């Protein structure tokens, strides 16, 4: 169904020259850069900031004739596949998180009241700066991601050989390593009473009690999602 919708949108934008300032339009513009016969394209300046300048390569054939080819190489299937991943990774995970947050608040009235008082204290100023200064809201979201982790298993590709401390175990270069984030998040060794939804675990005064690398709803380190 998603693929059909994306195909329909692509066809409409290309036939009707409809433009939007969104992720899909960036990919359409990148595709147009590859297929265009001229360097003068009707694309957003924003595209160039993201993709950089598109290089034009000059090829010489056997008849000593030159032809120009563009960089990038996006097909409609590439756009569809990338859009699907964007939808699943961005929309579905956010929807699942919000659903579990509301559910958890509904069955924990004291937590609900505490969050209500924090939100009400903003006096209707719900801009980014204000919301980012709401520690209890952040704690509610973090605890929800711990208990209802949208990505239960995380994998990484070893770029080089690595020995795990004094365990005697060595990860060879090129191996895929999988981390069971779900089990870590539900381990009583790291989270007392792990099946209980308790935002207090992630309040600023309690965060330093968390064992490093035992909370990774989207991975951790420089390659986290």
Beta bridge partners of 219: 217
Beta carbons of 186 and 145 less than 8 angstroms apart: no
Q: What is the CA radius of gyration of the chain?
A: 24
Cα angle 26, 87, 131 (rounded to 5 degrees) comes to: 90
Q: How many C-beta atoms surround the C-beta of residue 199 within 10 A?
A: 25
One DSSP character per residue, 192-216 reads: SSTTS--GGGGSTTTGGGSPTTS--
- Pairing verdict, β 176-180 and 56-60: unpaired
Is 140 assigned to a binding site? Answer: no
Q: Tokens in use for 210?
A: 């968390």
Entry field: residues in the chain: 225
Q: Using the 8-state DSSP alphabet, how is residue 35 labeled?
A: H
Phi/psi for 134 (5° steps) reads -110, 90
Beta carbons of 37 and 2 less than 8 angstroms apart: no
Q: Binding site membership for heme: which residues? A: 225
Q: Binding site membership: which residues? A: 225
């Amino acid at each position: 169904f998603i693929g059909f919708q994306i195909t329909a949108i692509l066809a409409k934008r290309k036939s009707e020259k409809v433009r939007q300032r969104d992720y899909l339009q960036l990919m359409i513009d990148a595709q147009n850069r590859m297929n265009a016969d001229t360097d003068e394209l009707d694309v957003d300046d924003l595209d160039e900031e993201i993709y950089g300048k598109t290089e034009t390569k000059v090829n010489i054939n056997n008849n000593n004739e030159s032809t120009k080819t563009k960089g990038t190489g996006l097909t409609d299937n590439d756009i569809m596949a990338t859009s699907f991943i964007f939808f699943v990774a961005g929309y579905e995970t956010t929807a699942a998180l919000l659903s579990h947050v509301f559910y958890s608040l509904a069955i924990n009235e004291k937590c609900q009241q505490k969050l209500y008082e924090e939100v009400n204290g903003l006096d209707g100023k719900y801009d980014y700066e204000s919301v980012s200064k709401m520690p209890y809201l952040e704690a509610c979201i973090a605890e929800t991601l711990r208990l209802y982790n949208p990505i239960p298993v995380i994998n990484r590709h070893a770029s080089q050989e690595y020995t795990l401390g004094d365990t005697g175990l060595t990860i060879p270069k090129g191996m895929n390593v999988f981390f069971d984030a779900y089990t870590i998040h539900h381990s009583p060794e790291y989270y007392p009473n792990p099946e209980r939804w308790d935002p207090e675990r992630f309040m600023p005064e309690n965060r330093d009690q968390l064992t490093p690398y035992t909370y990774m709803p989207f991975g951790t380190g420089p390659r986290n999602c």
